[in-house]
Amino acid sequence: MSEMGMLSVLDGRFVLMVLLGSVAGLFVGAIPGLSVSMATALLISITYTWEHSDALAMIMGVYVVGVFSGAVSAILINIPGAPSSVVTTLDGYPMAKKGQAYKALYTATIYSFMGSLFGLVALGLLATPVSRVALKFTKMDYFLLALFGLATVGSVSTKNYAKGLISVMLGLVISMIGLDPLMGTKRLTFGIQNLTGGINTVPALVGFFGFAEVLTVIYNRKQEQNVLTMEKSNISLREVLKHWKLSLYMSTIGMLVGALPGAGGPVASFIAYNEAKRLVKQPQVPFGEGAVEGIMASESSNNACIGGALIPMLTLAVPGDAVTAIILSVFYVHGLQPGPMFLTKSPDAFYAILAAGFIACFALLALGLLVAPRICRVITIPKNIMIPVVTCLCVIGAFACNNRLFDVGLMFAFGLIGFLMRRFDYPVAPLILAMVLGKMMDSNFRQAVSLASSADHPFLFTFGHWTTALLLLCTLAVILGNIPWTRPYVEKIRGIFRRR
């Protein structure tokens, strides 16, 4: 860790910001209806005027602890506080029903801590080599990389690939509103002066994640769940840690899945859970009925995703999930430019993220063991009280970024669109990623086309580089492998390679 990173760890204010973020993350993640994405989106507007190290510290605290704390409500009330904790409910709630809620939470805390640490260590080790490769990227590579990310997120975030891609297109359309990035020409503003500067990311994010959630909760008004009681019991750390080797494997899965744009915690935890079922032949309790191995797999992998998702975000400016897409916009708000040169130009910000992540890991451990067992009452705040308060927070969040009510109106509009998208099974994550990446894709694509038009062999000039060819093949494989009419042919080609 650099001198700057070490200083960050020793700076009391920095540590305090991480701890505040961690406490906020614990509650936000644990309360169903509030999400880490929503909290991060709201935080951008508050941290707008702060030092970037303070802002990053708080956001990392929310991110790391928020991903873990989804397990609290998953175990106690059978409702995952975050999408990545869906798998934790499979064994966590049955354990709680058997009177082992404390053991379930203890296991979730220990393995979330290990998973988060693993992901962050991987981030520290892999960021530099990935940046070195990224330095050789051409304009077309960046376009294809973003396209690959969007094609992947479209495929993993929904059962219907066409809907995932439609969501991507909507995000790209939103990103095109305002001045075009190369020539400064107005596009899609329709004479509205407030749209000239483009759609600000904050009201869009607050709308899609915050207000859309409000409308969804109102639409699905249900009776409150019963909270299972938790009695503290003596648990041997050695017994909990006996799955540490398997946890490392699950964390590796989580880290790799997290690095794939769009996949994120939910996908990682499902894959890890299936792997655990395959590898652990004779669990003490069958999977789905309260197996500790199930909680270990889910929590190790979804927390390792954090570090994994940050690798492409910091080194390639391609976010791995919705939260990292929001963190990417925090970087832009604070004038930081993620990408291959990020580690060279802004090492302080990189090490601040790492330091904040590591501090948040220890905060997770402390909060998970000491505070989480005591917040049963808080996670069941009636939704009819919580929802109006969240709406007010959305209004403040949307207004604060530019101090104009126009953004509040935009937030409501995006919230309605986000609600309708959820209602009709259109995933929101691809839209957000496309919205964040749209301008970069537009400018890189047009620059690549302009450069190619002056070359002797335009096609070879554009796709002749090995990284470009590889990215093009990967992108085509993802797209064609997901289209129903072309999928059989792609499978045939895969079969040929497998036989060889």
Partner 1 sequence: MKRKIHSLIVEGILFCGSGLALLSYSLTSYANAFNKNWGQSPYLFPLIVSLAMLGLSVWIIGEGILAMKKESGEAVAPQKGSSKQTLWVVTALVLCLVYYGALAVLKLPRITVGILGFSFLFSTFEIVTVLFLVAMMAFLGVRKWTVLVFVPLGTTLFLSIAFRTLLHVLLP
Provide the 3-class DSSP secondary structure of residue 449. Answer: helix
Q: Which of 166, 268, 297, 359: binder of partner 1 (CB under 8 A)? A: 166
Shortest separation between residue 67's beta carbon and partner 1, angstroms? 25
Residue 440 binding partner 1, by CB under 8 A: no
**For the chain, how many residues are written?**
500
Residue 486 binding partner 1, by CB under 8 A: no
Residue among 21, 428, 443, 61 at smallest CA distance from 211? 428
Pairing of strands 178-179, 186-187: antiparallel
Residue 221 binding partner 1, by CB under 8 A: yes
Q: What are phi and psi of 426, to 5 degrees?
A: -100, 120
CA–CA dist 383, 60 (Å, integer): 27
Shortest separation between residue 416's beta carbon and partner 1, angstroms? 7
Burial tier of 48 (Cβ tally within 10 Å: 0-12, 13-18, 19+) = middle
Residue in the block written with tokens 């209004």:
395
CA–CA dist 390, 393 (Å, integer): 5
Nearer to partner 1, 173 or 366 (CB): 173
Residue among 365, 321, 353, 403 at smallest CA distance from 54? 353
CA–CA dist 44, 37 (Å, integer): 11
Residues whose CB falls within 8 Å of the CB of residue 100, separated by 6 or more in sequence, listed in order: 233, 290
| Site mask for partner 1 (CB under 8 A), range 26-45, x = bound | -------------------x
Shortest separation between residue 53's beta carbon and partner 1, angstroms? 17
Residue 409 binding partner 1, by CB under 8 A: yes
Residue in the block written with tokens 């895969």:
494
| Site mask for partner 1 (CB under 8 A), range 108-147, x = bound | ----------------------------------------
What number of other Cβ atoms are within 10 A of residue 188's Cβ? 14
Q: Which of 392, 459, 497, 500: binder of partner 1 (CB under 8 A)? A: 392
Shortest separation between residue 343's beta carbon and partner 1, angstroms? 30
Shortest separation between residue 154's beta carbon and partner 1, angstroms? 10
Provide the 3-class DSSP secondary structure of residue 402. Answer: coil
Q: Which of 10, 125, 133, 162: binder of partner 1 (CB under 8 A)? A: 162
CA–CA dist 332, 343 (Å, integer): 15
**Interacting span for partner 1 (CB under 8 A) from 117-125, 202-210, 293-301, 376-384:** 376-384
Nearer to partner 1, 47 or 252 (CB): 47
Residue 396 binding partner 1, by CB under 8 A: yes
Q: Which of 403, 459, 498, 499: binder of partner 1 (CB under 8 A)? A: 403
CA–CA dist 389, 113 (Å, integer): 31
**Interacting span for partner 1 (CB under 8 A) from 66-74, 128-136, 164-172, 247-255:** 164-172
Residues 368/340, Cβ–Cβ less than 8 Å: no
Degrees to nearest 5, angle at CA 184 with 182 and 190 = 130
Residues whose CB falls within 8 Å of the CB of residue 235, separated by 6 or more in sequence, listed in order: 102, 103, 106
| Site mask for partner 1 (CB under 8 A), range 170-189, x = bound | --xx--x---x-xx-x-xx-
- Amino acid, single-letter form, for residue 258: G
**Interacting span for partner 1 (CB under 8 A) from 7-15, 235-243, 404-412, 487-495:** 404-412
Residue 208 binding partner 1, by CB under 8 A: no
Residue 157 binding partner 1, by CB under 8 A: no
Shortest separation between residue 452's beta carbon and partner 1, angstroms? 8
- List contacts with partner 1 (CB under 8 A): 45-46, 49, 160, 162-163, 165-166, 169, 172-173, 176, 180, 182-183, 185, 187-188, 211, 214-215, 218-221, 382-385, 387-389, 391-393, 395-396, 399-400, 403, 405, 408-409, 412, 416, 419, 424, 441-442, 445-446, 449-450, 453
